[in-house]
Amino acid sequence: AAFAARKSGKAITLGFHGRKSHDLIALEECPVLRPPIVSAIPRLKDILALLFTGKEDLSVLVTDTATGLDLHITGLAKDVKPLARAEATSAALRAGFARVSLEGTDVLTERAPRIPAGAASLLPPPGGFLQASAEAEAEMARLVLAHLSGAKRGADLFSGCGTFSLRLAQHMPVYAAESGRAAIEALRAAASASPGLHPVTAEVRDLFRNPVSAPELARFDALVLDPARAGAAAQSAEIAKSSVPRVAYVSCDPATLARDLRTLADGGYRLLRVHPIDQFLWSAHVEAVALLEKS
């Protein structure tokens, strides 16, 4: 859950912004969130109260992991005193958080926050991108693996921490590319610590400026890409020129997905089906898994 927090007088408001608004709607309970996150809200407010210095809004990311809650707070004012940081960290320790990070820096790890990824166990970097729900991630992975099954060598572009790479590596050698260095380091660590996986080659690479070219893609017979909301225009153009027979495109934005699917179709790919995944319940957002092939 990605919360926003604000202080007014002595009161702490923790919740979500209204749609297309800066209004902060206080949250006391939520039927969509994992129960451990909802239960932690009162303790979260106590921790945040120690870190406010003025009227700044804080961003609060809470992830329910296999070993407990992972807390990442950003937006801190520069004049937050070291004592306040220490007191907040101690309060989080007493509250039972597995890890606490401030502005991308790990300040407390009581238990390494682990995320299962197939047969592997992933330690995401503070604030690292993860899917919104474990159930949706499992369904997306099932669709991707089924479409790419039987391949001899796969590529995972915009790989993040390895949601798909680590699962694919149970069946084939995998090349993964992602611009975030911390994400790639987490992927490498998970792959090396997971016995029984095929080799995973992970590269820090900006796929917007330096997409994997069609000649480079010639060594793969399966490919998954999962770009951010902006899509993958440059990378899709290279895939369209390639001979990779099967592609799975995971997207959180229907407009950029449609644009990139047009590029792939113009390059000879046939769209087999698109699976919507409603992992953002009661919102206008939708995830989609598009499955394509080229003869």
CA count, 13 A, side-chain hemisphere, 138 = 7
Helices (H), 96-244: 134-148, 165-168, 181-192, 214-217, 233-241
d(CA 79, CA 91): 20
d(CA 152, CA 64): 34
DSSP 8-state symbol, 243:
-
Catalytic residue among 252, 277, 288, 291: 252
State both tokens at 219: 């060594």
d(CA 201, CA 220): 13
Q: What strands, in cross-sheet order, belong to the sheet with 246-251?
A: 200-204, 174-178, 154-157, 222-225, 246-251, 287-293, 270-277
Q: Is 30 part of the annotated catalytic residue set?
A: no
Cβ-Cβ contacts under 8 Å for 191 (sequence gap 6 or more): 120, 162, 165, 166, 169, 197, 200, 202
- Kindly give the interhelix angle for 254-266 and 233-241, rounded to the nearest 10 degrees: 20
State both tokens at 243: 């001979």
d(CA 24, CA 13): 8
What is the number of other CB atoms lying within 10 angstroms of the CB of residue 228?
Answer: 15
DSSP 8-state symbol, 23:
P
Instruction: Write out the catalytic residue numbers.
Output: 252
